[in-house]
Amino acid sequence: MPSLRVHGVCPHDCYDTCSLYVTASQDRIERIEADPAHPLTRGFLCYKVNRYGNRLYHPERLTRPLRRVGPKGSGEFVEVGWDEALREVALRLHEVIARDGGEAVLPYSFSGNMGVLAESSLDRRFFYAIGATHLDRTICTAAADAALSWVFGTAVGPDPETLPQARLVVVWGTNPVVTNVHEIPLLDEARRQGARIWTIDPLKTETAKRYGHHLPLRPQSDYALALGLAREIIHRGAVSRAFVDQYTWGVDAYAAVAEAWTRERVLQRTGLTGSDFESLVEDLVSRRPLLFRPGYGVQRQRDGAKTVWAIAGLSALLGAPLDEGGGFLLSNSGAFSLNWERLTRPDLQTKPVRHMNMVQLGTALQTASAPKIRALIVYNSNPAATAPDQRQVIQGLLRPDLLTIVHEQMMTDTARYADWVFPAAMSFETLDLYTSYWHRYLQLNVPACPPWGQSVSNTEFFRRLAAAMGLSHPALQASDRALIEDALDTPENRQAGVTWDALCERGAMKVGQGWGRRPFVDTPPPTADGRLNLSPLPIDPEPLGGRGPEESDDWILLSPARRETIKSTFGNVASIVREDAPELLMHPEDVKRLGLEEGAPVTVYNERGEARMKVRISEKPQPGVVVSYAVRWHRAAGDHNVNQLTSAELSDWGGGAIFYSARVKIRP
C-alpha cells in the first residue's frame, strides 16, 4: 500500500498549535514531522509529541464500545457492538428525558482535542436539540477571558511573530520553556538583539533560570505588584499620555485603586526586595518596545480576574501597545473569525436551559435539583483527574442512579467510572480545523488514515447518538466538511479568501490581518466606545486570597503544567512520564524543618482530601510553597491525585478555577 503524507495540526491544548506533516501507510500512522516552513513551528516539536507513536498505538487505546459489568469505578467492562451500545444508551437517555426533561442531561467536555469540530460543533447541536443543561467551560481561562473582555472587548494581543522586536519582555505567570516551547526561539532572538526578559513567578522555573531577572513573588500577590508598579509609574510622572489620553478611558478610576498600593504594602505582601522592585520599575520606564506576556498561571487564583485587569492597565499606562513588538499578549483566540451560530446552532434549543459551571462538577452531580443530573456525557476531558475538589467529583461519579457515558481514546480515570465507554479516534485520523490561542494561523488537519479499530471522531459519535435517539433534524447529520464550511462562513474570512479550497491547498493561513501590527492602536478595540476600558471591574477591589505564608502554618500548593504531559493526557505512557510516584517539590529549608529527606513519602492533606507523594528537594519553590505538577493518573498514586487538594471555589469574577489558591498541610 502506498504511503500518504498530509498536512496535520497538533490537537493538544497548548499555546503552540504546531503545523505538522503526518505520514501513514497500511492504515497506520508511521511518522509525525514538524513543518519546517511554518514561521512558529520552525521544524521542531516538543518532548511529548516527538514520542507520539507511543500514545497513538498504546495498549490501553480503546477500540470498541464497552459496557460496565463490575461495580462503578471497578474498571470491569465487556466489549459490545456499536449498534447494541447505541440502542441501549438511546433508550436510557430517552427515559431520563421523559422523566426529568433534557436538563437532567449534563455534557462535560473541554479541550482534549482543540479542533473546532472536535470541541464545539455537532456535540453542541446535539445538546441544544435535546435541551440539555448548558455547561460553562470555565476550567482554564474564564477569569482571564472575563477581564480581557472588560478591558479590550476581545481576546486579542500582538502577533507573536513581532515578539523579537521587543526590548523588554515581562513573562508573568507562564512558563514557556514547558508550556509554549515555540516561544523560546522568539524570546532568544529578542535577547540576542538586546532585550531583557523578566520572569514574574513564585517558582524559579526553567524560564526564570534561562533568562535571569526573576521576581520570586509570593503566590497570589500579583495584583498587589501590578498596582504597586502602576502607582510608582503614576507618581514618577512616567504615564504615557500619548497612549492613555487617546486610546483609553477610566484611567482616573484605575489610578484611584492603585493609590492604595504603596511600595511598603506591596513589598510586605509580595515578599520582594525594594531593589528588585526598583530595577523592574527602571526597566519599565526606559525600555521600548515593551511586551507584557502574562499567561494562564497568573489567573488560577481567587483574584484571577482582578489580576489580569491590573496587569492590562499597567501595560496601558506605560503605552506598551504603541510600539510594534510591544503590548499585552495573553491570548489571540479573538483574532480568528468563525461563525459559531452556524456551527453550533443554538436555534435548535426550544427553550432556555440552566447553566452549570464545570469547575463545580462534584457538587453539580450530587446536589443539583429540579431536575437532578441523571445522565453525564463526557468527551475531550478527564474530570476525575483534572477537575478540582476530586473527592466530590468521584462521589458524584459513584452515584448508582447516574448514567455516565464517556467517549475517550484511553481507559482514563473518568472512563473507569462510566457505564458505557465509546472509543474515540485520534485527531490525525479525522478532518478538523484548528485556531490557536497564541499564534494567528488557521489550519486544516487532513486525516492521514481511517480511525483505528472501531473508534470514531467526536462529530461521528454525536451523529450516531442523534440517529440512535431518532432525532431527525438534518443539522444533526451534517458532514465534517459541511461543518467546516459553516464555521468559515464570515465576512472577514470571505474578504481574506479564507475558504475550504484555500485551506485545502495551503494547510495553514494567516488570519487577523485586520488587527495590524499594533492591535488597539492600528485598529480600535471592539469595546463600547472603541477605547480600552481601564475602569475597575465591577467587584470589590480588595484582594480575597494570597495571604503570606508567615500568617499561617499551611503550605501553598501550586500544581502548574508538567513538561511530560498535557494535564492528564500522556499520563499513561510509561516511556514519556518517567516519575514513578507523584513528587512534591519542597525547598531544602522546609524539608529540614519537617525532618524529612529526599524521597521520603508524605501525605499532603487539607479539609478536602489527601494525596500521597514523594518528597523531592528543590530550589524551585520558595519556603512555604510546595509544588506537584499537574496531573498524574490516579493509579500512579493509589487512586487519587493532586486535585484531592484543590478547591472548586470560583475566581473573583468570570467563574474561573482557582487551582493555585490551595493550602495544604504535610505529614510524614
Ligand X SMILES: Nc1nc2c(c(=O)[nH]1)N[C@H]1C(S)=C(S)[C@@H](COP(=O)(O)OP(=O)(O)OC[C@H]3O[C@@H](n4cnc5c(=O)[nH]c(N)nc54)[C@H](O)[C@@H]3O)O[C@H]1N2
Which residues are at the interface with ligand X (CB under 6 A)?
13-14, 110-113, 118, 139-140, 172-175, 178-179, 200-203, 205, 219-220, 222, 295-298, 300-301, 379-383, 386, 407-410, 412, 424, 427, 458, 558-563, 565-569, 630-631, 642-643, 646, 659-660
Answer with the entry of Mo ion, ligand X, ligand SF4, none that 17 interacts with (C-beta below 5 to 8 A by kind).
ligand SF4
**Cβ–Cβ < 8 Å for 380, 119:** yes
| Cβ contacts of 269 within 8 Å, gap of 6 or more | 218, 221, 224, 546, 548
Answer with the entry of ligand X, Mo ion, ligand SF4, none that 560 interacts with (C-beta below 5 to 8 A by kind).
ligand X
Sign of the torsion angle spanned by Cα atoms 353, 358, 360, 361: positive
Answer with the entry of ligand SF4, Mo ion, ligand X, none that 122 interacts with (C-beta below 5 to 8 A by kind).
none
Nearer CB in complex with ligand X: 34/244: 34
Nearer CB in complex with Mo ion: 331/647: 331
Nearer CB in complex with Mo ion: 386/459: 386
Strand stretches in 218-289, DSSP E:
248-249
Cα–Cα distance for residue pair 568/355, rounded to 1 Å: 26
Nearer CB in complex with ligand SF4: 39/516: 39
- How open is the CA angle 411-414-419, to the nearest 5 degrees? 85
Minimum gap (Å) between residue 492 Cβ and ligand X: 26
Cα–Cα distance for residue pair 425/460, rounded to 1 Å: 10
Answer with the entry of ligand X, Mo ion, ligand SF4, none that 49 interacts with (C-beta below 5 to 8 A by kind).
ligand SF4
The CA–CA distances, whole Å, from 274 to 225, 230, 271, 556 equal 12, 15, 10, 24
Answer with the entry of ligand SF4, Mo ion, ligand X, none that 45 interacts with (C-beta below 5 to 8 A by kind).
ligand SF4
Judged by CB under 5 A, which of 89, 106, 118, 140 binds Mo ion? 140
Answer with the entry of ligand SF4, Mo ion, ligand X, none that 301 interacts with (C-beta below 5 to 8 A by kind).
ligand X
Answer with the entry of ligand X, Mo ion, ligand SF4, none that 344 interacts with (C-beta below 5 to 8 A by kind).
none
Nearer CB in complex with ligand X: 531/616: 616
Minimum gap (Å) between residue 435 Cβ and Mo ion: 15
Nearer CB in complex with ligand X: 58/372: 58
Find, among 586, 593, 589, the residue nearest to 618 by Cα: 586
Minimum gap (Å) between residue 46 Cβ and ligand SF4: 3
Minimum gap (Å) between residue 608 Cβ and Mo ion: 21
Answer with the entry of ligand SF4, ligand X, Mo ion, none that 563 interacts with (C-beta below 5 to 8 A by kind).
ligand X
Answer with the entry of ligand X, ligand SF4, Mo ion, none that 577 interacts with (C-beta below 5 to 8 A by kind).
none
Nearer CB in complex with Mo ion: 270/568: 568
Minimum gap (Å) between residue 6 Cβ and ligand SF4: 16
DSSP, collapsed to helix, strand or coil, labels residue 609 as: coil
Minimum gap (Å) between residue 176 Cβ and ligand X: 7
Nearer CB in complex with ligand SF4: 97/181: 181
Answer with the entry of Mo ion, ligand X, ligand SF4, none that 191 interacts with (C-beta below 5 to 8 A by kind).
none
Which residues are registered as beta bridge partners of 624? none
H-state helical runs in 259-400: 263-270, 274-286, 304-317, 340-344, 361-367, 383-386, 390-397
Minimum gap (Å) between residue 544 Cβ and ligand SF4: 33
**Residue written as cell 469595546?**
527
Nearer CB in complex with ligand SF4: 211/428: 428
Answer with the entry of ligand SF4, Mo ion, ligand X, none that 145 interacts with (C-beta below 5 to 8 A by kind).
none
Nearer CB in complex with ligand X: 156/361: 361
Q: Which residue lies nearest Mo ion, judged by its C-beta?
A: 140
Minimum gap (Å) between residue 631 Cβ and ligand X: 5
Q: What Rg do the C-alpha atoms of the chain give, in angstroms?
A: 25
The yes or no reply on residue 631 touching Mo ion (CB under 5 A) is no
Answer with the entry of ligand X, Mo ion, ligand SF4, none that 632 interacts with (C-beta below 5 to 8 A by kind).
none
Cα–Cα distance for residue pair 625/203, rounded to 1 Å: 9
Minimum gap (Å) between residue 140 Cβ and Mo ion: 3
Answer with the entry of Mo ion, ligand X, ligand SF4, none that 110 interacts with (C-beta below 5 to 8 A by kind).
ligand X
Question: Alpha carbon 272 to chain centroid distance?
Answer: 29
Minimum gap (Å) between residue 583 Cβ and Mo ion: 21
Find the helix packing angle between 251-258 and 304-317, rounded to 10°: 120
Find, among 642, 473, 441, 454, the residue nearest to 561 by Cα: 642
The CA–CA distances, whole Å, from 372 to 124, 127, 360, 401 equal 21, 17, 15, 10
Answer with the entry of Mo ion, ligand X, ligand SF4, none that 429 interacts with (C-beta below 5 to 8 A by kind).
none
Strand order across the beta sheet in which 327-328 lies:
214-215, 196-200, 168-172, 290-294, 327-328
Cα–Cα distance for residue pair 60/57, rounded to 1 Å: 8
Sign of the torsion angle spanned by Cα atoms 400, 402, 407, 409: negative
Find, among 135, 157, 154, the residue nearest to 145 by Cα: 154
Cα–Cα distance for residue pair 346/343, rounded to 1 Å: 9
Minimum gap (Å) between residue 138 Cβ and Mo ion: 11
Minimum gap (Å) between residue 111 Cβ and Mo ion: 7
Find, among 220, 143, 253, the residue nearest to 532 by Cα: 253
Minimum gap (Å) between residue 48 Cβ and ligand SF4: 6
Nearer CB in complex with ligand SF4: 277/438: 438
Find the helix packing angle between 458-468 and 82-100, rounded to 10°: 70
DSSP 8-state code for residue 534? -
Find, among 210, 213, 153, the residue nearest to 176 by Cα: 210
**Residue written as cell 453525564?**
376
The CA–CA distances, whole Å, from 16 to 12, 57, 184, 227, 300 equal 9, 24, 11, 30, 20
Nearer CB in complex with ligand SF4: 18/244: 18
Minimum gap (Å) between residue 219 Cβ and ligand X: 4
The yes or no reply on residue 49 touching Mo ion (CB under 5 A) is no
Minimum gap (Å) between residue 115 Cβ and ligand X: 7
Nearer CB in complex with Mo ion: 32/140: 140
The yes or no reply on residue 630 touching Mo ion (CB under 5 A) is no
Residues that bind ligand SF4 (CB under 6 A): 10, 12, 14, 16-18, 45-46, 48-49, 181
Nearer CB in complex with ligand X: 165/301: 301
Cell reading at 313? 492597565
Return the range that interacts with Mo ion (CB under 5 A); candidates 88-96, 138-146, 483-491, 636-644.
Answer: 138-146
Find, among 379, 426, 500, the residue nearest to 135 by Cα: 379
DSSP, collapsed to helix, strand or coil, labels residue 435 as: coil
Kind plus residue range of the DSSP H or E element containing 168: strand 168-172
Nearer CB in complex with ligand X: 410/584: 410
Minimum gap (Å) between residue 379 Cβ and Mo ion: 17
Q: Which residues contact Mo ion (rule: CB under 5 A)? A: 140
